[in-house]
Amino acid sequence: MQSSPAIRIAFQGETGAFSEEAMQCLHPGAEGVPFPSFEKVFEALGSGAADQAVIPIENSLFGSVHECYDLLRVHDVSIIGELKLRIRHNLIGFSGASLEDIRVVRSHPQALGQCRRFLRMHLSSADVIAAYDTAGAVRELAQSGGPNEAAIGSTRAAAVYGLEILEAGIESNHQNYTRFLLLSPKQEMPPPVPDIRKDWKTSIVFSMRTNVPGALFKSLAVFALRELDLFKIESRPLVGSPGNYRFYLDVLGAASDKPVELALDHLREIASYLKVLGSYRSGKTQE
């Protein structure tokens, strides 16, 4: 069977970055298009340089990526999918190399920090050197490294650069997951349906008028009164505007489902700003 041309999915980072690993889980066979910044990823979606995009939105250790929320707010895009990916760091080297041979380890400082315990126990005499990027460290190792050198990076980075995983899952804290969102250019909502779709969720961003006592409580009432479960609620103080907040909220059901639609109409009555970022099927967790 002849396949159609691969869909092009923008991501931030280098080939082999965790965002690309997430992309491959969400869309096997898609063509990854790397960009140096999240802003460029969103611009690529707007200009048609990419058909879809994958961005990280929150991590179990480091919280929500407000920068991506800001870009979701100002660009005409829709969330169409999600995936939770376990961030598994691997010690990557040349085929046949063993731990005892390794004299130099390179990676992004955050990855090095997350593997501190392993490095101390098994590679205490090796030089630990910061790199700009986990995937970049693996690429450079493949291009110009030797058998006494290693890098810390994703399973995908080892595969794409033809290197070997010398030791898998070397991060100290295995409860390290990143939630990624799959984006497309702005989509029309599907037609309303009478009941809520149990495996869908809708993500919104909203603000309340200043100095409204219990404003957040009132905004949650629009969902609680309709017995709509929430997956996420987060307040974000607005810099330079004390007392003003933006809220991120994920609710069960699609925005076109009647109870969700009514709840959002109700929220619009009391909110000073509301944007529906998209409705999509709840994503699986990739271990």
Among 159, 233, 262, 276, binds a copy of itself (CB under 8 A): 233
Output the smallest distance, CB 62 to a copy of itself, in A.
Answer: 6
Sign of torsion over alpha carbons 248, 250, 251, 254? positive
Would residue 178 show up in a list of annotated catalytic residues for this protein? yes
Separation between Cα atoms, residue 194 and residue 258, nearest integer Å: 6
Verify binding: residue 221, a copy of itself, rule CB under 8 A.
yes
What minimum distance in Å lies between the beta carbon of 70 and a copy of itself?
Answer: 8
Residues 6+ away with beta carbon under 8 Å from 164: 92, 93, 94, 95, 96, 97, 158
Cα separation, 114 vs 119, in Å, equals 10
Catalytic annotation, pick one of 35, 42, 180, 206: 180
* Structural contact between residues 79 and 182, judged by C-beta atoms closer than 8 angstroms: yes
Indicate the residue among 51 and 58 with the shorter CB distance to a copy of itself.
Answer: 58
Name residues contacting a copy of itself, limited to 245-274 (CB under 8 A): none
Q: Nearest distance from residue 248's CB to a copy of itself, in Å?
A: 9
Contact track, a copy of itself, 104-123, x by CB under 8 A: ----xxx-xx--x-------
> Is residue 7 within 8 Å of residue 51, measured between CB atoms?
yes
Q: Which of 198, 229, 273, 281 binds a copy of itself (CB under 8 A)?
A: 229
68 CB-side CA count, 13 A = 22
Q: Which is nearer to a copy of itself, 43 or 234 (CB)?
A: 234
Q: Quick one: which of 7, 99, 168, 230 contacts a copy of itself (CB under 8 A)? A: 230
Q: Choose, from 35, 134, 178, 206, the residue flagged as catalytic.
A: 178
Our CB check for a copy of itself shows the closer of 177 and 258 to be 177
Please report whether residue 216 would count as binding a copy of itself according to CB under 8 A: yes
How far is Cα 147 from Cα 127, in angstroms, rounded to an integer? 14
Q: What is the footprint of a copy of itself within residues 27-86 (CB under 8 A)?
A: 36-37, 58-67
* CB count in 10 Å sphere of residue 67: 13
Could you tell me how many residues of this chain bind a copy of itself (CB under 8 A)? Answer: 45
| CB-CB contact of 215 with 207 (8 Å) | no
Nearer to a copy of itself, 36 or 192 (CB): 36
3-state secondary structure of 219: helix
210 binds a copy of itself (CB under 8 A): no
Strand partners for 237:
245
Q: Is residue 86 exposed (0-12), middle (13-18) or buried (19+ Cβ within 10 Å)? A: middle
Reading across the β-sheet that carries 127-130, which strands appear in turn?
Answer: 127-130, 104-107, 149-153, 90-93, 164-167
The interface region with a copy of itself, picked from 23-31, 47-55, 148-156, 236-244 by CB under 8 A, is: 236-244
Establish if 231 lies at the interface with a copy of itself (CB under 8 A): yes
Q: Give residue for tokens 């929220």.
A: 267
Interface with a copy of itself (CB under 8 A): 36-37, 58-67, 108-110, 112-113, 116, 128, 130-133, 175, 177, 213-214, 216-217, 220-221, 223-224, 227, 229-237, 239-240
Q: Which residues are catalytic?
A: 178, 180
